[in-house]
Structure 1
Amino acid sequence: MRASLIQIAVDPHESVDSRRRRAAALVREQAGADLVVLPELWPVGAFAFEAFAEEAEAVDGPTFEAMAKAAGDAEVWLHAGSIVERDADGAFYNTSLVFSPAGELVRTYRKIHRFGFDRGEATLMSAGEELVTVPLSGEGRETVLGLATCYDLRFPELFRGLVDAGARLLVVPAGWPERRRAHWTLLAQARAVENQSYVLACATAGTHAGVEQSGHSIVVDPWGEVLAEAGADEEILTVDLDLSRVERTREQFPALKDRRLGLEPPPHR
Structure 2
Amino acid sequence: MRASLVQIAVDPDESVDSRRRRVAALVREQRDADLVILPELWPVGAFAYQQFEAEAETPAGPTYAAMAGAARDAGVWLHAGSIVERDGDGTLYNTALVIAPDGRMAAVYRKIHRFGFDKGEAVMMGAGEELVTVSLPGALTLGLATCYDLRFPELFRGLVDAGAQALVVPAGWPARRREHWTLLARARAVENQAYVLACGTAGTHADVEQAGHSIVVDPWGEVLAEAGPDEEVLTVDLDPSKVEKTRELFPALKDRRLGLPVPPGRSG
Q: In structure 1, what is the Cα distance between the partners aligned to 2:124 and 2:166?
A: 30
The correspondence of residues 7-26 of structure 1 with structure 2, limited to 5 A, is 7-26=7-26
Q: In structure 2, what is the Cα distance between the partners aligned to 1:231 and 1:42?
A: 18
Match of 2:60 in 1: 60
Shift of 1:209: 0.1
Q: In structure 2, what is the Cα distance between the partners aligned to 1:131 and 1:48?
A: 26
Deviations 1:66-112 (A, max 9, x none): 00101011010000000000101100000000000111101000000
Q: In structure 1, what is the Cα distance between the partners aligned to 2:25 and 2:87?
A: 28
Identity %: 78
Correspondent of 1:223 among 215, 220, 223: 220
Which amino acid in the other structure matches residue 2 of structure 2? R
Which amino acid in the other structure matches residue 235 of structure 2? T
Correspondent of 2:239 among 212, 237, 242: 242
Structure 2 residue 248 is the aligned partner of structure 1 residue 251:
yes
Q: In structure 1, what is the Cα distance between the partners aligned to 2:140 and 2:5?
A: 18
Correspondent of 1:183 among 180, 187, 206: 180
Structure 2 residue 102 is the aligned partner of structure 1 residue 125:
no
Q: In structure 2, what is the Cα distance between the partners aligned to 1:156 and 1:11?
A: 32
Q: In structure 1, what is the Cα distance between the partners aligned to 2:261 and 2:51?
A: 45
TM-score by length of 2: 0.98
Match of 2:157 in 1: 160
Match of 1:40 in 2: 40
Q: In structure 2, what is the Cα distance between the partners aligned to 1:177 and 1:65?
A: 29
Shift of 1:217: 0.1
Q: In structure 2, what is the Cα distance between the partners aligned to 1:151 and 1:121?
A: 11
Secondary structure class of the residue paired with 1:80: strand
Deviations 1:108-148 (A, max 9, x none): 000000000000000000000000000111xxx23200000
Match of 1:102 in 2: 102
Q: In structure 1, what is the Cα distance between the partners aligned to 2:126 and 2:133?
A: 20
Q: In structure 1, what is the Cα distance between the partners aligned to 2:18 and 2:264?
A: 58
Structure 2 residues without counterparts, runs of 5 or longer? none
Shift of 1:264: 1.5
Secondary structure class of the residue paired with 1:263: coil
Shift of 1:197: 0.1
Comparing both structures, which one devotes a greater share of its residues to strand? Answer: 1
Q: In structure 2, what is the Cα distance between the partners aligned to 1:10 and 1:113?
A: 23
Q: In structure 2, what is the Cα distance between the partners aligned to 1:116 and 1:73?
A: 37
Q: In structure 1, what is the Cα distance between the partners aligned to 2:230 and 2:178?
A: 14
Structure 2 residue 264 is the aligned partner of structure 1 residue 263:
no
Q: In structure 2, what is the Cα distance between the partners aligned to 1:61 and 1:253?
A: 44
Q: In structure 2, what is the Cα distance between the partners aligned to 1:47 and 1:208?
A: 7
Q: In structure 2, what is the Cα distance between the partners aligned to 1:264 and 1:216?
A: 41
Shift of 1:32: 1.7
Match of 1:203 in 2: 200
